[in-house]
């Protein structure tokens, strides 16, 4: 009788163990599938998965970055920031389809923020009141990487992939050729 009780106990133990393995296995697979896809629900933190980036010198209001894809490869993509930023009284702010180019002049990037992704422009404070150059915005707080492609605004606006051979550096300046 004791042997039967132990067998019954072992049977329940293994049944419970098998059930736990199935449940945990499914959860583990689901979790790994999400992490493999690299799905981001909001745009931020592109620098954590992009090796290089810069404001394009020959394409106004665009930035390019070399980012990791979900397969582990790397891609260059270009994002038009007119779809991501707006000028509010001389200060750049995140906004879908903000079209900041209407009131902002030359733009540049520098390393003046903690993430090293500051993007600044000379923007009008108010119509006809002159220019304001003191404010930039940290792109790492509003641009994300979706499978190697830059995006902003809750994945609404995605950049375009570009061929690695079309990306060139001239000193600190980034250029895209053939576009």
Q: Domain 46-176 belongs to what topology?
A: HIV-inactivating Protein, Cyanovirin-n (2.30.60)
Torsion on CA atoms 51, 54, 60, 62, rounded to nearest 10:
30
The DSSP 8-state label assigned to residue 138 in this structure reads E
pLDDT reported for residue 134: 60
- Look up the pTM and report it: 0.71
Dist CA 137 CA 47 (whole Å): 14
The Cα 147–Cα 60 span in angstroms is 24
In the chain, where are the structural domains located?
A: 1-37, 46-176
Pairing of strands 173-176, 131-132: unpaired
Residues of the chain with pLDDT under 70: 1-43, 113, 129-134, 155, 179
pLDDT tens digits, 1-38:
333 343 344 344 433 444 444 333 333 333 333 233 34
């Amino acid at each position: 009788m004791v042997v039967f009780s132990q067998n019954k106990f072992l049977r329940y133990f293994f049944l419970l163990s098998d059930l736990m393995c199935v449940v945990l296995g499914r959860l583990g697979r689901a979790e790994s599938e999400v992490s493999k896809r690299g799905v981001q629900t909001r745009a931020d933190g592109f620098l954590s998965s992009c090796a290089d980036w810069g404001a394009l010198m020959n394409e106004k209001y665009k930035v390019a970055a070399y980012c990791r894809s979900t397969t582990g490869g790397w891609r260059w993509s270009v994002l038009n920031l007119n779809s991501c930023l707006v000028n509010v009284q001389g200060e750049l702010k995140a906004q879908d389809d903000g079209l900041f180019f209407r009131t902002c002049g030359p733009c540049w990037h520098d390393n003046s923020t903690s993430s090293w992704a500051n993007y600044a422009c000379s923007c009008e404070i108010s119509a006809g009141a002159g220019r304001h150059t003191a404010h930039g915005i940290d792109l790492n707080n509003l641009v994300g990487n979706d499978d190697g492609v830059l995006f902003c605004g809750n994945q609404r606006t995605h950049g375009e992939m570009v061929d690695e051979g079309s990306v060139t550096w001239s000193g600190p300046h980034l250029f895209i050729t053939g576009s």
